[in-house]
Structure 1
Amino acid sequence: MHLFDIVVIAIGLAMDASAVSMAAAACGYAKDRRAVFRLAFHFGLFQFMMPVVGWILGTGFVSYVRAVDHWIAFGLLVFVGGRMVREGVADTGDCLHRDPSKGLTMVMLSFATSIDALAIGLGLAVMDVNIWYPSVLIGMITCAMSVAAIGIGKRVGAVLGNRMEIVGGIILIGLGLKILIPALFTVPDLTI
C-alpha cells in the first residue's frame, strides 16, 4: 500500500473526529491546553488502535462487525448529540454543561468516530498489509486534524455565541446519520 493511499484513508477517517473536535471547541469545551490535548490524544489513540484491533481480529470477524458497526456508531453519536441539543435548548445562557473531553463521553465519542477504522483494519488484514505503519499514520493525522479543528471551532464559537451546543449536537446527530444511511441502503454481497 502506497503512502498516498494511507494518507487519503487517514484523512477520511479523521473527518468525524475533526467535526466533533470543532463542535466541542465551538461550544467552549476546549478552553485550555489540557482539554485540547485530551480531545486530540483520545481521537488519535482510538483511530490508531481500532485498525490494529480490526487487523488482529482478521477476516473471520468481518461479517459480525459489518452487521452492526453503523448501528453502534449511530446510537452513540445520537445519544451524545441529543443530550447536547437538549442542554442547549434548556440553556440559560451558558453553553458549557459537560466537558466532552472527559470521562465516558470522551470514550464514547472516540469509539463512535473510530468504528470505521476497525473496518479499515479488517480490510488491511484481508489485503495482507502490515498494520503498524498505516495505524500510526492514521492516529497522527487524526490528532493533527483534531487540533486544527479545535482552533477553527474556537473562532466559530466566538462569532456565533454560546448556543453552539445545539449546533454541535446537530453535527453529531448528522455524523450518526451519515454513517447509518449509506449502510442501510448498501446491497449486501451474497457471493460465496
Structure 2
Amino acid sequence: MNFAATAALSLAMSTDAFAAAVGKGAALHRPQWREALRTGLIFGAIESITPLIGWALGRVAAPYVEAWDHWIAFGLLGIIGLLMIRNALADGGEEEEPARSHSFWLLAVTGFATSIDAMVVGAGLALLGADILVTAAAIGFSTFVMVTIGVMLGRVLGTVAGRRAELVGGLILIVIGCLILYQHLGHPAA
C-alpha cells in the first residue's frame, strides 16, 4: 500500500471515532486539552490494536467478524447512547454540573465499538500483504488526532447546549450505530 492509500484508509477508519468524540466532549464540562489528549490516546491505541488483531485472525475469523461487526458496534453504541440520554433526562431536582472527564472504561468501550471495522480491515490487509505495522500505526495516529480535535469541538457544543449536551452526545452515538448498521446491511454510503 502506498502513502496516499494508507492516509486515506487512516482517515476513513477515524471518522466514527471523531463523531463519537464530539459527543463525548459535548457531554463534559468544558473539557481541557489534557482530557482531549487522554481520550485521543485511548481511542488511538484501541484503533491501532484492532487491525493487528484482525491481521492475526486473518482468513479464519474474518467472515465471522465481518458478519457480526455492525451488530456489535450498533449494540454497544446504542447502549452507551441510551445511558447518556437517560442521564440527561433524569430529574435530579437541581441541575448538576457535567463531569470533567469520562471513565477509562466508558472511553475504551466506545473506542472499541467505533473500531470494529478496523479489525475487519486488518484481516483484509493480511490477504493483500500490506505492512500491517505501518498501517496500524497510521490508523492509530489519525484517530488520536481526530478524537482530540473532536473532544475540543464538543467543548464548544457543550458550552452552547448546556445540560442538553449529554442528550445530544447520546443521540450522536445512536446515530453512528444506526449508520454503521445501515451501511453494512447492503446500503453503502453515497
Change beyond 3 A, Cα 1:98–1:104: farther
Instruction: State the Cα distance separating 1:162 from its structure 2 match.
Output: 2.0
Instruction: State the Cα distance separating 1:166 from its structure 2 match.
Output: 0.6
Distance in 2, matches of 1:86 and 1:140, equals 33
Contact 2:46 2:140 in 1 (8 A): yes
Instruction: State the Cα distance separating 1:98 from its structure 2 match.
Output: 9.0
**Poorly superposed stretches of 4+, deviation over 3 Å:** 97-100
Matched, 1:56 2:30: no
Q: Which residue of structure 1 lines up, in the alignment, with residue 77 of structure 2?
A: 77
Change beyond 3 A, Cα 1:95–1:177: farther
Q: Which residue of structure 1 lines up, in the alignment, with residue 179 of structure 2?
A: 178
Distance in 1, matches of 2:125 and 2:180, equals 20
Distance in 2, matches of 1:171 and 1:7, equals 25
Contact 1:27 1:165 in 2 (8 A): yes
Contact 2:27 2:99 in 1 (8 A): no
Identity %, equivalent residues: 34
Change beyond 3 A, Cα 1:53–1:108: same
Change beyond 3 A, Cα 1:47–1:4: same
Which digits, 9 at most, give the CA deviation of each residue in 1:48-97, with x for residues without a partner? Answer: 00111101111121111111111111110000000001111125423626
Amino acid at match of 1:156: L
Q: Which residue of structure 2 lines up, in the alignment, with residue 159 of structure 1?
A: 160
Instruction: State the Cα distance separating 1:179 from its structure 2 match.
Output: 0.9
Distance in 1, matches of 2:108 and 2:84, equals 16
Instruction: State the Cα distance separating 1:134 from its structure 2 match.
Output: 0.7
Amino acid at match of 1:60: V
Amino acid at match of 1:14: S
Contact 1:24 1:30 in 2 (8 A): no
Distance in 2, matches of 1:97 and 1:32, equals 12
Distance in 1, matches of 2:168 and 2:97, equals 11
TM-score w.r.t. the length of structure 1 is 0.89
Distance in 2, matches of 1:162 and 1:22, equals 15
Gaps of 5+ in 2: none
Gaps of 5+ in 1: 188-192
Alignment of 1:118-137 (within 5 A): 118-137=119-138
Change beyond 3 A, Cα 1:29–1:73: farther
Q: Which residue of structure 1 lines up, in the alignment, with residue 115 of structure 2?
A: 114
Instruction: State the Cα distance separating 1:186 from its structure 2 match.
Output: 6.0
TM-score w.r.t. the length of structure 2 is 0.90
Which digits, 9 at most, give the CA deviation of each residue in 1:17-38, with x for residues without a partner? Answer: 1111111111116624442232
Q: Which residue of structure 2 lines up, in the alignment, with residue 190 of structure 1?
A: none
Amino acid at match of 1:90: A
> Which of 157-166 and 84-93 deviates more?
84-93
Q: How many residues align?
A: 186
1:96 to 95, 98, 104: 98
Distance in 1, matches of 2:126 and 2:175, equals 30
Contact 2:30 2:158 in 1 (8 A): no
